[in-house]
Amino acid sequence: MYLRYFNKDYPVARPPFVMMEENKFSYTSSISKMVTDDELKNFSAPLPGIYHFQYDSTLLKGLTLFYFDDDFPLVTHATQLIEGLRYITSNKEYDKLKTATDKKEAVDNFWVELSGNRDRARRLLLEYYSRMQDANRFFTSYLQGWKTDRGMIYLVFGKPQVVYVSDEKEYWEYAYTPGYGNLSFTFKRISNPFTDNDFELERQQSYEPVWYMAVDRWRQGRIDTRD
């Protein structure tokens, strides 16, 4: 069989009101080679990335293995905890967290400063990273689930009250949002050679105020569970 290996570090989803064209997956692999039957039988991913096996290298279809981290979909390392905060931090805050000498302590301090005390910080931290792990379980495509459009919305807004699913789209509906009104998100399925779980948000500029309201709730130390 033919093996393609991809090791690009893909960025997180952009906010739902950013109307710039999305970066599409590049099918340019880092390594391409033939593998024998014995190599296939004993295959173990040596490095994180995407492994795409094909009988016919002229086609896009094949078998895909994703290797993100030994503990995936769990979020266990301080670096992962920091990366997941990208949606609710400023550039300055994020850079400070990334360059901290003791990253675990920096994450703990971040949540304590937001919430005002350690008990509330613990509840916030548990809720946020539980959502991050759920996003990894349900929304992973060619990148970790929390980095996807659905993962971004799930992390910041929580679980939707209603989900409608068709062959081509998912429609998420949330309860009435004070100061904004009815809130819903539509995700369209994207053709992807590696997975049928790749969805892209239909972005709208009108999402900007409700996005910042939701981010601000986190930054005020409040959990928005939408129950």
Q: What is the pLDDT of residues 177-226, one digit of tens each?
A: 777 778 999 999 998 888 889 999 999 999 999 999 999 999 998 876 55
Number of domains in the chain: 1
Let me know: does 142 contact 192? Beta carbons within 8 Å.
yes
Look over the chain and give the mean of its residue pLDDT values, rounded to a whole number. 89
Task: Give the structural domain span for 27.
Answer: 2-219
**Domain membership flag for residue 212:** yes
Residue 175 has pLDDT above 90, yes or no: no
Q: Is residue 224 part of a domain?
A: no
Sign of CA dihedral 216, 220, 223, 227: negative
Helix, strand, coil percentages in the chain from 3-state DSSP, rounded to 5 = 35, 20, 45
Whether 7 contacts 48, CB under 8 Å: yes
- For 175, the token pair is 């309860």
pTM for the full predicted model? 0.90
Other CB atoms within 10 A of residue 116 CB: 11
Q: At what angle do helices 103-115 and 118-139 cross, to 10 degrees?
A: 110
